[in-house]
Amino acid sequence: MKKVIFLLMAFAIVAGILAAQELSIISPTPKQIKMRFAERESFLVMGLETKGNMDPGEYVDTWKNFFALKDKLPETVDNCIYGLYYPGEKFDPNSMQGHNYLVGMEVKKTVELPEGLKLVKAPGGYFAVFDHVGSVKNIGETYEYIFGEWLATSGEVPLGSEMFERYDERFKEESAASVIEIWVPVHKMEKIPTPVKKLVQEPTVEETPTEH
């Protein structure tokens, strides 16, 4: 069930991005999925929020409205855009329904909140970070891999129900080399050291010379 929810989320987000920027997709599939582990402190993201159960039309409007005002956001840290996915007030952990989605940019802690915008604290912690390489249209395939094959075979355990996407300068909507980062919080697995066997040297037994 969780896998289906995340895939629906991915498709809805993609629909919003495509409609907002009127992209021309030429790359059919991602070439590869790179993964690494990373730690990151919590950070503040200011942007526009969508509440509810992932209606694609709502995501379209959210992305359109965000691109219309993103250059006016105060005290942004860099040019990266984030898509935060987090539980709303009516979130049901059993059905995984009731998430909110916010598209925005990281801002400084001292910033004042303009009217109509939302300020959300993105969680820090330990993450499995996946690079979706290729057309944004096919990002659903990467989500399917993450919440299907990878989770089933990696032994990693997702932590909570919050995650985010990160769009930096590598995001090139019409390029097969475009990169979108998907940050999934996981439990940090402590490595158990391999026991070191102590070699006990057997005492040397001196033989008594035999008298002839």
Per the model's pLDDT, the better-predicted residue between 33 and 121 turns out to be 121
Q: Which domain holds residue 59?
A: 2-185
The pLDDT tens digits for 179-193 are 999 999 999 876 545
User: Residue 40, Cα to own-chain centre: how many angstroms?
Assistant: 12
Query: Is residue 67, in this structure, part of any structural domain at all?
Result: yes
The pLDDT tens digits for 124-136 are 999 999 999 988 8
Query: Is residue 201, in this structure, part of any structural domain at all?
Result: no
**Residue 131 burial class via C-beta count within 10 angstroms: exposed 0-12, middle 13-18, buried 19 and up:** middle
Judge whether residue 138 has pLDDT over 70: yes
Query: Is residue 211, in this structure, part of any structural domain at all?
Result: no
Query: Is residue 207, in this structure, part of any structural domain at all?
Result: no
The token pair at 108 is 């400084």
Count of all residues that appear for the chain in the document: 212
Query: Is residue 177, in this structure, part of any structural domain at all?
Result: yes
CA distance 121 to 115: 18
Say which range, 64-73, 74-83, 85-94, 107-116, has the weakest mean pLDDT. Answer: 85-94
The pLDDT tens digits for 74-89 are 999 999 999 998 887 7
Per the model's pLDDT, the better-predicted residue between 170 and 195 turns out to be 170
What is the DSSP code (8-state) at residue 29? Answer: S
Per the model's pLDDT, the better-predicted residue between 103 and 111 turns out to be 103
What's the whole-number average pLDDT of the chain?
77
The Cα angle at residue 90 between residues 152 and 105, in degrees rounded to 5: 75
CATH number where 40 lies: 3.20.80.10
Per the model's pLDDT, the better-predicted residue between 23 and 37 turns out to be 37
Task: Output b/e per residue, 28-48; b: 16+ Cβ within 10 A.
Answer: eebeebeeeeeeeeebbbbbb
How is 50-96 classified by DSSP, letter by letter? EESS--HHHHHHHHHHHHHHGGG-TTBSSS-EEEEEEEEEEEETTTT
Query: Is residue 49, in this structure, part of any structural domain at all?
Result: yes
Helix (H) or strand (E) holding 4: helix 2-21
pTM, two decimals, is 0.74
Domain count, the chain: 1
Per the model's pLDDT, the better-predicted residue between 13 and 106 turns out to be 106
Query: Is residue 34, in this structure, part of any structural domain at all?
Result: yes
Query: Is residue 171, in this structure, part of any structural domain at all?
Result: yes
Nearest to 2 by CA among 92, 82, 130, 100: 92
| % of the chain residues with pLDDT over 70 | 67
Judge whether residue 32 has pLDDT over 90: no
